[in-house]
Chain A
Amino acid sequence: MARAGHYCVLAFLMFSSTPAIAQENGDTLVTEITAAPKLKPVKNTFESIWLIDNQTVMVPVKGTFEMDFQHRFGTLKNGYNDFFGLFASSNIRLGFNYVPINNLNIGLGITKYKMTWDLNAKYLILPQTKNGGSPVSVAYYGNIGIDTRPSDNFVYESDRLTYFNQLIVARKFSEKLSAQVAPSISHTNFVEGYYSEPGKISQVRKHDHIAIALGGRYKLTEKMAVLVNYDQPITKHKSGNPHPNIAFGLEVSTSSHAFQFFAGNYYALSPQLNNMYNQYDYTDGQFLIGFNITRLWNY
């Protein structure tokens, strides 16, 4: 009987990947299994896929369909004349996203500015875990932007295309405080040229632009949080260098919605166009009011 027990334990040890300690105590066999603790992912680092003008590491649960409504109004500078920009010409984006498999969010959207369609994807590469494991969450976000204005705006059809790639590293420090850093590279197929010397055309700017975003959330209550976001351009161009973006706002989240209201300097609603071309200067008080509203449905 005891021999049969030995064989069982031996077989278990051979085929088990978890460490095991066997100890014989008289006629009885005491087996102690030390299973590796299951790593639990940290939930709700952010409540929305958006942190004002950037993506967060959040990917909703599998089977979630999301609709985004985003607005950026005019600058506050005109005061009452256009009611602090709210009655000025606004930029609007409508977005649609779906999570077909765990940790992958795919989407498309259309933005009023330059009638830009975007196809995008985000993948949560590594979640932050509670008991050891990873101290941060890491996600990749990328998109292709397609300027769909009439053909007379372009020399080549490929001039319509812009691209954006971003790595997002975030940490939930406590139930209230989360922060993220997100380096990015934007690419445009089209840059303007000028005659630097007779017969020689030079580019006024580079095709690629590197930037870094910093952002965070501090929860005031279970449902309400303060948001901050900063985007710093890194690549220097010959002309038309973009201005950084400082934005701060409030977020209210419910079971199916997240509402973000803020003031910042980015207008384009396309991360690559914002990072490459932003001309709203915070040192000149050129802040815009904006909002992001997300609506989730689970299937």
Chain B
Amino acid sequence: MKKGKLFGFTVTLMAAIVIMSFTAYQAAPKPWPVPDKNAKMTNPVKKDAESISTGKSLWSKHCASCHGKSGKGDGTKAAQLKTIVEDLTTTKMQAQSDGSLFYKISEGRDDMPSFKKKIPDQEELWSIVNYMRSLK
């Protein structure tokens, strides 16, 4: 009986080691401080239907592959990244100011690319922020 338990434990441990060796390790996101002046920036683009539609279109093209269609961090590329993609629909994430979201989209960091060159029109970046507010 004792021998059987030991055998079971050994098999489980080996299976766990094998499984873990094939599992990519993803780090938890580090804190991302936003300069005060950026965090306090006022969103100049009205959250109307046109802006949200523009934001949705840009989100689908540039963001959804990692962040997921509805922002839950479950995009098709999310598992390949070094950092866990956070759920943007949570109260904590939505508590960030528009300016903070704009700064992060614009500047990027690590796995998150900078979009200020790819999307040079700032109104479009603000429209992504507006669309992100509708993520649930």
| Chain A interfacial positions (CB closer than 8 Å to B) | 43-44, 61-63, 175, 221-223, 253-255, 298-299
Beyond A44-B57, A222-B57, whether A63 also contacts B117 by CB under 8 A is yes
A175 and B61 contact, CB distance less than 8 A: no
Given the interface pairs A43-B124, A254-B65, A255-B61, the reply to whether A222 lies near B56 with Cβ below 8 Å is: yes
For the complex of A and B, 7 pairs with smallest distance between CB atoms:
A222-B60, A298-B117, A255-B62, A298-B118, A61-B120, A255-B61, A222-B57
Nearest-CB distance from B89 to chain A (Å)? 19
- Min CB–CB distance A219 → chain B (angstroms): 9
User: From DSSP, what is the main secondary structure of chain A's interface residues?
Assistant: loop
Which residues of the partner chain A approach B62 to less than 8 Å between Cβ atoms? 255
How many residues of B sit at the interface, in one of the four size bands?
10 to 19
Contact mask for chain B residues 47-80; partner A; CB cutoff 8 A; 1 contact, 0 none: 0000001101100111001000000000000000
* Contacting residues, chain B, for A222 (C-beta < 8 A): 56-57, 60-61
Query: In angstroms, how far is the closest chain B Cβ from the Cβ of A207?
Result: 42
A299: B residues at CB distance < 8 A: 117
Contact partners of B61 in chain A: CB under 8 A: 222-223, 253-255
- The complex places the Cα of A298 from the Cα of B117 at a distance, in Å, of 6
Smallest CB–CB gap between B101 and chain A, Å? 18
Beyond A175-B57, A254-B65, 14 additional contacts (C-beta under 8 Å) are A43-B54, A44-B57, A61-B118, A61-B119, A61-B120, A175-B53, A221-B60, A222-B57, A222-B60, A223-B61, A255-B61, A255-B62, A255-B118, A298-B118
Among the interface residues A62, A222, A223, which one has the most CB atoms of the partner chain B within 10 A? Answer: A222
A255 to B56, CA, bound (A): 13
Question: How far is it, in angstroms, between the C-alpha of A214 and the C-alpha of B118 when the chains are bound?
Answer: 29
Question: What are the residues of chain B within 8 A of A298 when measuring CB–CB?
Answer: 117-118
29 contacts between A and B (CB under 8 A): A43-B54, A43-B121, A43-B124, A44-B57, A61-B117, A61-B118, A61-B119, A61-B120, A62-B120, A63-B117, A175-B53, A175-B57, A221-B60, A222-B56, A222-B57, A222-B60, A222-B61, A223-B60, A223-B61, A253-B61, A254-B61, A254-B65, A255-B61, A255-B62, A255-B65, A255-B118, A298-B117, A298-B118, A299-B117
